Each structure stands twice: as C-alpha cells, then as structure tokens.
Amino acid sequence: MTDPAPMIDIRNLSVTFNRGRKPVKAVNGVSLSVRPGEVVALLGESGSGKSVTMRSLLRLHPAGTTIEGTMTVAGRDVTGLSKRELGDLRGPIVSMVFQEPRLALDPVYTLGRQIEETIMRHEKVSRAEASARALALFRKVRIPSPERRLKNYPHEMSGGMLQRSMIAMALACNPKVLLADEPTTALDATVQIQILLLIRDLQREYGLSVIFVTHDIGVAAEVADRIAVMYAGRIVEEGTVSEIIHAPKHPYTQGLLGARVELAHGRDRLITIPGAPPDLTNMPSGCAFSPRCPVASEPCHTRVPELVSQGEAGRVACIQYA
C-alpha cells in the first residue's frame, strides 16, 4: 500500500436490505481500495455480495437499504452525497456496465439517442456535438458501420454489439472509474473474449480504475491486476492474480480453483465444494465458510477471522494464518 491516494477506498462497508420480513446483511464489513489505473476483480459465487459491494459505489440500491462504513471515490465521500451530487457523480466519474445489455438499455430509444442523452446530461454541448461524440465512441468500441448502428434500437442488435454499445455509453463522459457487473456472463464464449480484450484495451487507454465483478476465476485472471475473493458478504482473500492463482491461501479460494472445469480434464469427476453458501438472514456465528471447510477446527465456528496481511500485498481471513 505505497500509493497515498487510492482512486476508490472502501472502509468497513456493510449493506443491509430491509425488504421482506428479516433484514438481509448482503455485505458485512468489506474494505477494499483500488489505485488509479488498476483493475480489481471481485470474485465470488451468487449471493456473495460482490455485486452489492460494487453497486454501493453508485448507491444504486432500492429504497430502505442501510449502508454503513465509508466510501471515497476520486476524493469524494460517496456516502455523504446529496441526490443531485450523486447524479453528477454517476457518469463522468463513476460509470457502470451491466450484466445483461439487452435489459439494461431502453428498448424504445435508439442507441445513438441514449448515448447523446448521457453526454447532454453532464455537459453543455449541442445535440450535433453529442451525436458526433457518440459516433466516435462507437468507432472506439469497434462497432462496424457505426453511423447506421447508432440509429438502431436495442432489439435490432446482437448481444455482443449491445455490450459494446453499453461500454461506449459508460465511457461517454470520460469517467475515472468503471464498474463492470459480470459484463461477459450473458454472452457467447467467443464474444466473451472479445469483450474482455476490449475492456482491457480501453482501461489502459483511458487509465481507468476498474472493479470487475465475476464468478469466473478464468475471467478474473484474464482482466485483473488483483483479485478479491468474497464469501457470504466478506472478503476472505485478496492478492495479486499470480498469488491467488498459484498460491491460494484461504480454503475457499483453494476450493474455487479446484472446482474449475479445465482442471477436471483427465479426472472422471468434477471436484466441487461440498454444501451451500449460508443463509444471509441467519449467518453462522464464526467464520461463514467453516460449515463447508475441510480444515475447520473448533475455534472457526465461534470466532470471525480478521483479514490480515499476508505475503507482499495479499490479505487473508483465515484462522490458519492469524
């Protein structure tokens, strides 16, 4: 942690959804910082709180959600922003690419119109200038025949092209931070690679700080500089890509790596982590992974392990390393 001014600094974030009968603690004390120009992958299975953590940076939660802790983005305290200030943050400073481009774009507006609208919301430019910038963005994300495509409606485009449009829209106001919520999960395998490469290229060109949420460790290794592994609303391990891939410390990370389909090659069965993630309305008292952990001992069931520094830049939350 040599850099004095991280682009994103999340301290002790907790997010609780108060809909339904019982409050759901989706994120439980997450701390994470991202340097300028750095890509961090948040890795975890469904319900681990990775997406909720990321959306907190835009405060995109339904009404009645409790957010605790502090979040700073580009020197701004996100937790204290007014509605208006939040609107000014979303787009020119932090923008987001959604998982399903087909659902995340307005079906009755042309793509060009949707990009122009974003630019004109944040900058005082004419319609003609906004439209010229939309065209430049479409070129940048390598959409063929961009002039024609700008006049298309979302239902007239393929998933890959829509995700490119979504990326173009996210970059429309030159943000500093890009949040990517499983942007390749809904796409075909070949298109996935193209989109990953595109995001990587644009990230370098724009010097973006990126939080990339994914459940696919291969995707995380492809795009990220660092990986933070989440389980049941907490970060259980964090480190550089090579540390996580080659020397995973937390039993959950080890399990995730073992469960990859590629590694099943030559074996007749896929190795899986036994059991299921805990119920977020009724969390176990100790380490949340302890009921599924192959090496759990008695204290694991009563005490929540701290996330402690390990190695050069890595951190791990496991009693074995405490």
Binding residues for other proteins (CB under 8 A): 58, 60, 84, 87-92, 95-96, 98, 100, 103-109, 117-118, 121-122, 153, 155-156, 169-170, 172-173
Nearer to other proteins, 148 or 246 (CB): 148
Q: For every residue of the chain, which 3-state class applies, written as one string?
A: CCCCCCCEEEEEEEEEECCCCCCEEEEEEEEEEECCCCEEEEECCCCCCHHHHHHHCCCCCCCCEEEEEEEEECCEEHHHCCHHHHHHHECCCEEEECCCHHHHCCCCCCHHHHHHHHHHHHCCCCHHHHHHHHHHHHHHCCCCCHHHHHCCCHHHCCHHHHHHHHHHHHCCCCCCEEEEECCCCCCCHHHHHHHHHHHHHHHHHHCCEEEEEECCHHHHHHHCCEEEEEECCEEEEEEEHHHHHHCCCCHHHHHHHHCCHHHHCCCCCCCCCCCCCCCCCCCCCCCCCHHHCCCCCHHHHCCCCCCEEECCCEEECCHHHC
Nearer to other proteins, 108 or 189 (CB): 108
Nearer to other proteins, 118 or 310 (CB): 118
Nearer to other proteins, 86 or 304 (CB): 86
At closest approach, how far in Å is the CB of 105 from other proteins?
Answer: 6
120: Cβ–Cβ under 8 A, 6 or more apart, which residues? Answer: 127, 130
At closest approach, how far in Å is the CB of 85 from other proteins?
Answer: 11
At closest approach, how far in Å is the CB of 222 from other proteins?
Answer: 24
Nearer to other proteins, 153 or 321 (CB): 153
Nearer to other proteins, 80 or 107 (CB): 107
At closest approach, how far in Å is the CB of 153 from other proteins?
Answer: 5
At closest approach, how far in Å is the CB of 82 from other proteins?
Answer: 12
Nearer to other proteins, 160 or 314 (CB): 160
At closest approach, how far in Å is the CB of 106 from other proteins?
Answer: 5
Which of these, 16, 296, 279, lies nearest to 287 by C-alpha position? 296
At closest approach, how far in Å is the CB of 287 from other proteins?
Answer: 33
